[in-house]
Chains A and B, each alone.
Chain A
Amino acid sequence: MLSSFDPRINRLGLPESAPPPPDKAALDQFPTYEVFHQRKENAAYAYVGPVHAPEADVAFLFAKEQFSRRFPCTGLWVVPTSAIQVTGYVGDQESVYDQLPLLPADALPAAAAATDEAYDIFHLKKRGKAHAHVGQVRAASPEAALQQAKAAFGDQRPVVNVWVICSADVLRSDDDDRDMWTTTPDKKYREAIAYKVQDRIDRFKQEG
């Protein structure tokens, strides 16, 4: 048995040595969901990172834990990574919309069809920064949604990269549940400001 000075480790009864385990299967953990958060009321949702989860509800719980516990947050969206359509990347001064194939003037339908779905559009303004939500369009496919997005948001610059997400694939926090974002006031120990260490150092030096 592996022996440690730490009684907590000894209680685990771990073997002294063991043959290396076989490599994991390609997906032994869970699939990923991408998470977007809202820093304050009325601010655009911005990309914060992925979580691994077996399903969307669990992804939301993990995302809340991972991305909202330390900083202000007023809303959270989670989306399966596989549901996000990603364009190519262009340089920091350019717009990726300029690279879309030009369509004939009548290619964009004048009126939305009843079967059209809503799509959420996210722009990356600068390489290395995070994607932010710019709005919704209605279209029949992700490709058509990208053309609609160009018409609606194409004048914004720069646009380094665009994410197109079918709105039905987004699990969103509910406005009625807003009180879940209220950080418990007695968790000040997680804030740097709660540590008044200089007072103690000064006192120590005076007494020195």
Chain B
Amino acid sequence: MYGSASTHDIPAKATTGLENEDPILLAEFEARIARGEKIEPTDWMPQLYRKQLTRMIEQHAHSEIIGSLPEGTWITRAPGFRRKMAQMAKVQDEVGHAQLLYSAAETLGKTREQMLSDLVNGKSKYSNVFNYPTPTWADSNVISWLIDAGAIVNQMANAKGSYGPYCRALDRICAEEAFHLKYGHDAVVHMATGTPVQRKMMQEALNRWWPAIMTFFGPSDKMSVHTEILMRWKVKMATNDACRQQFLDMYVPKIWEIGLTLPDANLRKNEDGVWEFTEPDWEDFKRVINGDGPCNAERIAVRRAAEENGAWVRRALLQPQARYVRPLA
């Protein structure tokens, strides 16, 4: 699991469009969510709900596909047969998660074909951390452990959200994640408690990845009208800051425990139990997410090549009478 819901939200100044919605239907919709019932695909829903969820689930799906690239490239070079098999199983899981998520997003009305087009066109985003490279095996381990851990924090929250198909997909995804997290932790611990060379390699990878990890949950939410509405509708289940705090609380001690350090002198838990840290460079984050990162072009080019190289297989097997049918649930 690689998803971070906060990659790109609807701009805060955009109108909510709520004044154009039918007030009675809107009240029924909100009452259903307040009762703790999930929304299912054929239910009435406000445009803003449909739009934001489509964007969120689609970005999550893209993140699974693109996120499997920096780990996938290490399959053949993974140290030892067992790790090779495990890395392969994990990458296979992630790509499977993308398929589940695309289908969940499709129930909201956007076709999978359009989503796949928008990924290679650059119209849709994916988690920004995958615009950075994995120069060593240790970097791949950092993704397996800490990026997955961050995604799990996010997805455990989203699995309690209000949209039925997304919850169903996330239930299954979260169940498969237990192995990923253990596998990633094991790989990092193995290196960190190994020879001095292994230890150095892991520390350097962690230093490289830490700034990206700190941006994983996105900038602090401006408590806009949008945020307030999306939280009431259980689309957004926790603020970016709350997710970041939970992640730090769960994983910083585990990182320190194996004698690794983090490249932020200000990182500490204060007397109130709140983690303090150096504010990440959000200008750099914006620059990278908008295309100017070390791997943006490469990720999209690889994805596009896979798409184009597989086109003949799809053409050869597609039955002429086949028609598009929206997934049900």
Contacts and interface: CB of A to CB of B under 8 A. Distances in A.
A113 interface: no
Interface string B252-269: 000001110000000000
B124 to A, nearest CB: 12
A120 B56 CA distance: 34
Interface in A16-51: 16-18, 20-21, 23-32, 34, 47-51
Nearest to A91: B37
B164 A49 contact: no
A128 B168 contact: yes
Contacts of B297: 2, 16-17
A135 interface: no
B290 interface: no
A84 interface: yes
B73 A131 contact: no
A28 B315 CA distance: 8
Contacts of B96: 66
A50 B179 contact: no
Interface in B146-174: 164, 167-169, 172
Given A70-B93, A200-B189, A200-B193, A5 B133 contact: yes
A14 interface: yes
A55 B319 contact: yes
Interface centre among B85, B114, B314, by most chain A C-beta atoms within 10 angstroms, is B314
Interface string B19-42: 000000000000010010111101
B318 interface: yes
B37 A127 contact: yes
Given A6-B133, A70-B93, A30 B318 contact: yes
Interface residues of A, number: 69
B222 interface: no
Interface residues of B, number: 73
Contact of A47 (B35, B295, B329): B329
B288 interface: no
B24 to A, nearest CB: 16
Contact of A130 (B32, B122, B168): B168
Nearest to A131: B329
B32 A91 contact: yes
Contacts of A80: 325
A14 B189 contact: no
Contact of B178 (A9, A52, A192): A192
Contacts of A52: 99, 112
Contacts of A49: 99-100, 103, 168-169, 172
6 contacts: A18-B301, A29-B116, A86-B42, A130-B329, A160-B40, A189-B85
- Lowest 9 CB-CB distances: which A-B pairs, in order? A128-B38, A127-B38, A54-B317, A24-B113, A195-B182, A204-B193, A192-B178, A195-B186, A128-B164
